Amino acid sequence: MSLELSAPAQSAPGCANDDDVWLECIECGEQFAPFDDIRYTCDDCDGLLEVRYAEPPTFDEFEGRGVWRYNAALPFEVGVTLPEGDTPLHEAPRLREDIGVDKLRIKHEGMNPTGSFKDRGMTVGVRVAKELGVGRLACASTGNTSAALAAYGARGGMETLVLLPSGKVAAGKIAQASLHDARILEVDGNFDSCLDIVQELAARGEAYLLNSLNPFRLEGQKTIGFEILEAHYEDYGEYPDRIVLPVGNAGNTSALYKAFRELVQSGSLDEDQVPKLTGVQAEGAAPMVEAVREGNDEVRRWEHVETKATAIRIGNPVNAPKALPGIRNTGGTAVAVTDEEITDAQRDLAGEGIGVEPASAASVAGLRKLRQSGEISADESVVCLTTGHLLKDPDAAFAAGDDPEPVPNDTEAVIDHLHE
């Protein structure tokens, strides 16, 4: 099935539901009813599935606020909601001038209810789970997915199971999942090992998988793209030239590309108005960058990954078959950055009053690196996506920030200290 930007909208097949929604394999084109059975990949070839609509959305159909403003582009009118979405598109004037681009905005997804973009996917995914009548939800996680799933599972009155790589998840994220009453299993392995196990559990009917392998998760996440386009156009009368985003499992890259394809299909967006999707990974976990830079059609799984940006410490991005066309067909690129460059970018954002966890800052680190190399030009209008809140990883924030200064319990001593 073509993932070209120019691919036209399709007529609803016989398996589509009453709202003309269906699932379709991106590899072989096989089509399935959306809610008759539980499936995550194609029955025939095991390829990734996408949710398809006979009538792609137009900007005129959007009304309200948050994720469900975009229900014309989603499978339901409303989901299990806290609510989510409607996150700020910050200005960062000093950072813009320092990096040297025409316009720079920061889309801060850390302002969602549980502190990350994952809430957008869960409001749709947990609603689908209710439609399917499943009882237990499950995910593998580097932290943010588990926090979001636990919160939305609790909101929906459903049991939640999360598998985490032991010793590799920030304390703030584990605390969230724990407080929302998730059952937490710490696996002696990395994230990719956790995902292997949870996929096996799902295949055996033990739980409903809500990692981004689930195509409905990405439907919620594509609303990030709609929000960026609308807000940027309202402020500048034009769409951004480029969106730079961190890449872990490549779900957001896939989701934003899908949002843009649907707007092109509906005639709301011209192909030459689609922003260039540019992915950023940490050097110690950069299989997508390797594939893009080497021109490979597939991503090679990295068995050993390491970075302080725990949210993107992933060696086998499951959404790569959707994300690689998104980067290439929009004229984007991908770049790897060091942990030190990520920490510097985290400090730079904090200097603008924008607090993010390390993985989020990878987007700004990548923008700076691509600007310095000349791959991004000075006349570009850029949006950097930051995916998680500062307090998701308080230890990393403390390490990146200034140390407290001890002073005596005396006003004059404090004044003397300040003047030293």
At 331-388, the pLDDT tens digits run: 999 999 999 999 999 999 999 999 999 999 999 999 999 999 999 999 999 999 999 9
Q: What is the pLDDT of residues 133-180, one digit of tens each?
A: 998 999 988 788 989 999 999 999 999 999 888 887 777 788 898 999
This prediction has a pTM of 0.95
CA dist 245 and 268 (Å) reads 23
Q: What local confidence, expressed as pLDDT, does residue 396 receive? A: 86
* pLDDT for residue 135: 86
Same fold flag, 89-115+218-400 and 118-213: yes
> CA–CA separation, 120 vs 219, rounded Å?
8
What is the side-by-side order of every strand in the sheet holding 49-53?
Answer: 31-32, 21-25, 49-53
**Residue 1 pLDDT more than 60?**
no
Assigned CATH topology for domain 118-213: Rossmann fold (3.40.50)
The 10s digit of each residue's pLDDT in 68-79 is 999 999 999 999
Helix axes 251-265, 320-329, angle to 10 degrees: 60
> Which amino acid is residue 82, in one-letter code?
L
Angstrom distance (rounded) from CA 292 to CA 406: 49
Q: Six-digit token pair at 259?
A: 């949002």
Structure tokens at 251: 């779900």
Q: Name the binding residues for pyridoxal 5'-phosphate.
A: 144, 248-252, 387
User: pLDDT (tens digit, 9 = 90+) per residue, 289-346?
Assistant: 999 999 999 999 999 999 999 889 999 999 999 999 999 999 999 999 999 999 999 9
Would you list the DSSP string of 56-113? ---GGG--SSSGGGGGGGSSSS--S-S------EEE-HHHHHHHT-SEEEEEEGGGST
Mean pLDDT (the chain) is 95
Q: What digits encode the pLDDT tens for the residues 215-257?
A: 999 999 999 999 999 999 999 999 999 999 999 999 999 999 9
Q: Domain 89-115+218-400, what architecture?
A: 3-Layer(aba) Sandwich (3.40)
Q: What is the dihedral of CA 126, 110, 164, 171, to 10 degrees?
A: -130
Q: CA 243, CA 231: separation in Å to the nearest integer?
A: 13
Residues in the chain: 420
- Which residue numbers belong to the known binding site? 144, 248-252, 387
For 49: left if phi > 0, alpha if psi spans -120 to 50, otherwise beta; the answer is beta
The pLDDT value recorded for residue 407 is: 92
CA 101, CA 104: separation in Å to the nearest integer?
A: 7
Tens digit of pLDDT for each residue in 9-54?
999 999 999 999 999 999 999 999 999 999 999 999 999 999 999 9
pLDDT-based confidence at 195, cuts 50/70/90? confident
Domain-wise residue ranges, the chain: 89-115+218-400, 118-213
Take residue 378 and report the two structure tokens written for it: 């000075």
Provide the residue type at 330 as one letter.
T
Query: Do 115 and 391 touch, CB atoms closer than 8 A?
Result: yes
* Burial class of residue 328, CB neighbours in 10 A (0-12, 13-18, 19+): middle
d(C-alpha 246, C-alpha 365), whole Å: 10
In this predicted structure, the answer to whether residue 395 has a pLDDT above a threshold of 80 is: yes
User: Which of 60, 75, 69, 65 has the alpha carbon at shortest distance from 269?
Assistant: 60
Residues 164 and 178 sit within 8 Å (Cβ to Cβ)? no
Burial class (CB in 10 A: 0-12, 13-18, 19+), 299: buried
Answer whether 388's CB lies under 8 Å from 359's CB.
yes
- List the structure tokens of 43: 């029955």
409 burial type by CB count under 10 A (0-12 exposed, 13-18 middle, 19+ buried): exposed
Closest CA to 249 of 208, 296, 191, 197: 191
